[in-house]
Amino acid sequence: MLRVALRPRFLGLLALMVLATVVCGLLATWQWERAHRALSEDTSVAEELGPVQDVIGLADPVTNELVGGIVTASGSFDAERQILVGGRHIDGTDAVIVVTALEVTTSEGEQAILPVARGWVPAEQVTGADGELDPALAPAPPSGEVEISGRLEASEAATDGIFEGVASEIATPLLVNAWGDPMYAGYVAQTSAAEGLSPMPVAESAFQRGLDWQNIGYAAQWIVFGVFFLYLWGRTVRTAHLDELAAQREELERSLASAGEHPDQRPDPGVPADAAPTQEDADAGTPTPR
């Protein structure tokens, strides 16, 4: 099989497979480094990103590299555009998040809405006599020009709507329908203390929780792909070798078959064919010499 493997065609194929394996190895290393970096980073210290207008545009998504970074924003809160987001459990308490529209000026000079999760309160504090959440019981936002700082977060998935100022998630697609646009794709979880509210806790999305294992899984997949390329080359060489052995065996069988009958069954080359005794001669017997 070594003779087959050393043929130029298979050596060229081997070079191609080795190149593919090297690429897979590099990709596996890259995914492993991403997983290791995410595991080793100190997530308790958020990165300072700067003014939100300089970090993200109105049409830009909040990527994983930006999520959790600290941004600042200046503008004025609109008390008429405020909702309560219930169903949260913070510090062992049934909590409700207060989300308010902050009117800001973009880097292009355009007026836009930045949703700000100003903080949270115990659910009982904003629950009316009918047992339902009442936005009128939430602390009002400060008036006038304000400057806030907080973590930039991606929009949560919209699974429900906004009914009478109450929602189940902080989803910008829902807020756009309720508050209008233009609006930033994400929101800011305010970390500075707001009057009557507790600061927002660190958000942990399902993607962030599974990021490390996801990258490790990708690295393992690239390693498997690299090994498969080498296996494919070996399988190709082995198949070609077995095909050649089968062809040689068939050729040998054809050669033996074309050689004719067994030597003992062939006519004596020293006796002419017309001199061969017939059955009639055998019945007559051998003539008696006179």
Give the model's pLDDT for residue 285: 52
280 belongs to a structural domain:
no
271 belongs to a structural domain:
no
* Domain co-membership, 66 together with 187: yes
Rounded Cα distance, 219 and 225, in Å: 10
Q: What is the pLDDT of residues 147-179, one digit of tens each?
A: 999 999 999 888 888 999 999 999 999 999 999
Q: What is the pLDDT of residues 125-140, one digit of tens each?
A: 999 999 999 999 999 9
99 burial (CB, 10 Å; 0-12 / 13-18 / 19+) is: buried
Beta carbons of 82 and 135 less than 8 angstroms apart = yes
H-only helix segments in 102-205: 172-179
**213 pLDDT tier (thresholds 50, 70, 90):** low
Q: What is the pLDDT of residues 86-122, one digit of tens each?
A: 989 888 889 999 999 999 998 888 899 999 999 999 9
Mean pLDDT, the chain, integer: 81
Q: What is the pLDDT of residues 214-226, one digit of tens each?
A: 677 878 888 898 8
The residue-averaged pLDDT of 72-83 equals 94
**pLDDT higher for 70 or 268?**
70
Q: What is the pLDDT of residues 238-265, one digit of tens each?
A: 888 888 888 888 888 888 888 765 545 5
Beta carbons of 167 and 155 less than 8 angstroms apart = no
Which residues are bridge partners to 94 per DSSP? 89
For residue 176, give every residue at least 6 positions away whose Cβ sits within 8 Å of its Cβ, in sequence order, or none: 183
Highest mean pLDDT out of 17-21, 45-49, 207-211: 17-21
89 belongs to a structural domain:
yes
**pLDDT higher for 218 or 23?**
23
Give the model's pLDDT for residue 166: 93
Count structural domains, the chain: 2
Domain around 12: 2-41+212-240
H-only helix segments in the chain: 2-5, 8-40, 52-55, 172-179, 206-258, 279-284
* Domain co-membership, 61 together with 15: no
For strand 166-167 and strand 48-51, is the pairing parallel, antiparallel, or unpaired?
unpaired
Q: What is the pLDDT of residues 275-286, one digit of tens each?
A: 555 555 545 555
* Domain co-membership, 223 together with 181: no
For residue 87, give every residue at least 6 positions away whose Cβ sits within 8 Å of its Cβ, in sequence order, or none: 168
Q: What is the pLDDT of residues 186-202, one digit of tens each?
A: 999 998 778 889 888 87
139 prior amide bond cis, ω within 30: no
**pLDDT higher for 9 or 4?**
9
What Rg value do the Cα atoms of the chain yield, rounded?
Answer: 42
* Domain co-membership, 59 together with 189: yes
Tell me the CA distances in angstroms from 82 to 40, 165, 222, 230, 241, one per residue in order: 38, 7, 47, 60, 75
CA atoms within 13 A on the CB side of 205: 16
Beta carbons of 42 and 90 less than 8 angstroms apart = no
Give the model's pLDDT for residue 85: 94
* Domain co-membership, 74 together with 190: yes
- Cβ neighbours of 156 (radius 10 Å): 19
Rounded Cα distance, 29 and 26, in Å: 5
Helix or strand holding residue 89 (H, E): strand 70-90
Asked whether residue 206 carries a pLDDT value surpassing 90, the answer given is no
Give the model's pLDDT for residue 210: 45
For residue 151, give every residue at least 6 positions away whose Cβ sits within 8 Å of its Cβ, in sequence order, or none: 46, 67, 68, 69, 70, 71, 188, 189, 191, 200, 202, 203
Rounded Cα distance, 161 and 175, in Å: 9
* Domain co-membership, 12 together with 72: no
Q: What 3-state class would DSSP assign to 102?
A: strand
* Domain co-membership, 61 together with 174: yes
- Cβ neighbours of 112 (radius 10 Å): 20
Give the model's pLDDT for residue 203: 59
Number of H helices, E strands in the chain: 6, 7
197 belongs to a structural domain:
yes
* Domain co-membership, 33 together with 63: no
Q: What is the DSSP letter of 270?
A: T
Asked whether residue 39 carries a pLDDT value surpassing 60, the answer given is no
